Amino acid sequence: MRTRLYLRGEQAFNWLGRRHPRLYRLARLPWRRLTRLLGVPTYWDRRSHYRYYAEVVRLAREHVPDGGRVLDVGAYEAELLRQLDWFDERLALDLRYIMPRQGVKTLVADFRRYEPDGRYDLVLCLQVLEHLRDPDEIARKLLRTGRTVIVSVPYMWGPGGRGGHLHDPVDEAKLRLWTDRDPDESLIVDDDGRRRLIAVYARG
């Protein structure tokens, strides 16, 4: 019951964030405090155990061991950047307001119009492209923005628009179509019976 209430509240907050961002920012912190007081698991609480997050951290360490600057596009409530603590600069970008995090900068912006001051050493975009009407445009901008890019998408989930997905099923061929490039490394990770495709583009 509490989890169902939380999910409905999150849907309402997503609507509020799109329509009235200032009001959203004022109300977000009290809502988070209330849900924690009631013991309701947050977005990150429910997802932090997923193996694909651990694989992304491993791949980031392997491909960008010297750190530098990292950007997470579509970060929302994910706390993954806090685990990439060998990077000097960490930026979480999303259309929705992002709660402040220690050691991580946040930016409410549309990536389509975002103009970085130079390329990032690493760009992440996890479970985002399948929601977009123009995934090819965003995917190719990701590759221009980062020297190394890690993307994840739902792998071969059935059609039907689950969770706002516009492009299921997604496979290697569809991701290749969006990026116009083969990844340097890819793997498929299973979490609770749902598979995700993780692709690394490391020759930027």
Do both 123 and 34 map to the same domain? no
- What is the total count of domains within the chain? 2
Do both 64 and 141 map to the same domain? yes
Structure tokens at 202: 């490391």
Pairwise CA distance, residues 25 & 196, whole Å: 32
Q: What residues make up the domain containing 32?
A: 2-41
Q: Where are the beta strands (DSSP E) in 60-133?
A: 69-73, 89-94, 105-108, 120-126
Do both 90 and 185 map to the same domain? yes
Q: What is the DSSP letter of 190?
A: E
Do both 101 and 171 map to the same domain? yes
Do both 31 and 68 map to the same domain? no
Tell me the mean pLDDT per 10 residues along the chain, length 204: 64 68 71 69 80 98 98 90 96 86 91 96 97 96 98 92 85 98 97 96 84
Pairwise CA distance, residues 178 & 183, whole Å: 12
Do both 55 and 37 map to the same domain? no
What predicted TM-score, i.e. pTM, was given to this entire model?
0.86
Q: Are the CB atoms for 94 and 75 separated by under 8 Å?
A: yes
Structure tokens at 4: 């169902």
Do both 16 and 78 map to the same domain? no
Do both 88 and 147 map to the same domain? yes
Do both 145 and 159 map to the same domain? yes
Do both 55 and 151 map to the same domain? yes
CATH number of the domain bearing residue 58: 3.40.50.150
Pairwise CA distance, residues 172 & 70, whole Å: 25
Pairwise CA distance, residues 101 & 79, whole Å: 8
Do both 60 and 133 map to the same domain? yes
Do both 133 and 164 map to the same domain? yes
pLDDT digits (tens, 9 = 90+) for 103-132: 999 998 999 999 999 999 999 999 999 999
